[in-house]
Chain A
Amino acid sequence: MAKENKLIKEFYELKVDQLMDKRVWDLPLIEENEDIHHVLSILGARNHIWVIKNKENKELIGVITEHDVLSILAPKHFPSYVFGMPDVRSIQHGTANTAGEVMASKIIMCDPNEKIIDALMRMVKFKLRRLPVVKDKIIVGELTLHQLIRKYYSATQYHPILNDGEG
Chain B
Amino acid sequence: MIVTEEFFNVLLLIAIALIFARVLGYLFHKFKQPAVIGEIIAGILLSGLGVFVLSNQNYILFNYTISIPNINELFKSPQFIFFAEIGILFLLFISGLETSISKLKKTEKASLYVAIGGVILPLFLGFLSGIFFGYSFTESVIIGLILTATSVGVTVRSLMDLNVLDTEVGATILSSAVFDDIIGIILLTFAMGIGSLMDAVWIGIKIAIFFFIFLYIGLKIIDKILLLGEKLLLPKSFLSITIAILILYSFFAYESGISGIIGAFVAGAIIGQNVRSKNIIDDIKAIGYGFFIPIFFVYVGASLWNGGDIEISSFTSIFLFIIIIIFMSIIGKILGCGIGAKLAGMSKIESLQVGVGMIPRMELALIIATTAQSHNILIGNVAHIILLTTIILTIATSLIAPFLIKATFKNND
Contact = CB atoms under 8 A, between A and B. Distances in A.
Contacts of B97: 84
A139 B178 CA distance: 34
Interface stretch (B12-20, B157-165, B375-383): B157-165
A83 B284 CA distance: 14
A125 B36 contact: no
Contacts of B156: 78, 82, 86, 88
Given A95-B165, A106-B277, A125-B230, A85 B160 contact: no
Given A85-B174, A85-B178, A108-B278, A80 B160 contact: no
A94 B167 CA distance: 9
Contacts of A125: 230, 279
Interface in B163-206: 163, 165-166, 170, 174-175, 178, 181
Contacts of B364: 83
A76 B170 CA distance: 16
Contacts of B94: 81, 83-84
Interface residues of B, number: 40
B98 interface: yes
B374 to A, nearest CB: 19
Name B's interface SS: helix
B151 interface: yes
Interface string A50-65: 0000000000000000
Contacts of B279: 125-126
Contacts of A126: 278-279
Given A78-B156, A106-B278, A125-B279, A84 B99 contact: yes
A107 interface: yes
A79 interface: yes
B289 A81 contact: yes
B98 A78 contact: no
Contacts of B98: 83-87
A70 B181 CA distance: 30
B95 A83 contact: yes
A82 B34 CA distance: 9
Interface in B268-308: 274-275, 277-279, 285, 289, 293
A78 to B, nearest CB: 6
A108 B151 CA distance: 33
A84 B170 CA distance: 15
A86 B152 contact: yes
A93 interface: yes
Contact of A93 (B35, B91, B163, B363): B163
B173 to A, nearest CB: 10
Contacts of B91: 81, 83
B275 A106 contact: yes
A71 to B, nearest CB: 13
Interface string A91-121: 0011101000000101110000000000000
B63 to A, nearest CB: 42
Contacts of B170: 88, 95
B29 A84 contact: no
Contacts of A104: 278
A14 to B, nearest CB: 22
A81 B153 contact: yes
A86 B170 CA distance: 12
Contacts of B153: 78, 81-83, 86
Contact of A108 (B34, B165, B275, B289): B275
B355 interface: no
A107 B274 CA distance: 10
B25 interface: yes
A133 B25 CA distance: 46
Residue of B34, B94, B166, B181 with most partner-chain A CB within 10 A: B166
A90 B170 CA distance: 13
Interface in B96-119: 96-100, 103
Residue of A84, A85, A108 with most partner-chain B CB within 10 A: A84
A97 B167 CA distance: 13
B289 A85 contact: no
A82 B275 contact: no
A93 B95 contact: no
Interface string B232-253: 0000000000000000000000
A94 B274 CA distance: 28
A144 B260 CA distance: 44
A2 to B, nearest CB: 26
A78 B96 CA distance: 18
Interface string B307-324: 000000000000000000
8 contacts: A78-B157, A80-B29, A83-B181, A85-B178, A86-B152, A88-B160, A90-B165, A93-B160
Interface of B: 25, 29, 34-36, 39, 91, 94-100, 103, 151-153, 156-157, 160, 163, 165-166, 170, 174-175, 178, 181, 230, 274-275, 277-279, 285, 289, 293, 363-364
Interface of A: 76, 78-88, 90, 93-95, 97, 104, 106-108, 125-126
Given A85-B175, A95-B165, 9 more contacts: A79-B285, A82-B151, A85-B99, A93-B160, A93-B163, A93-B165, A94-B165, A95-B166, A125-B230
The list of the 5 closest CB pairs from A to B, nearest first, reads A82-B153, A84-B95, A94-B166, A80-B35, A84-B98
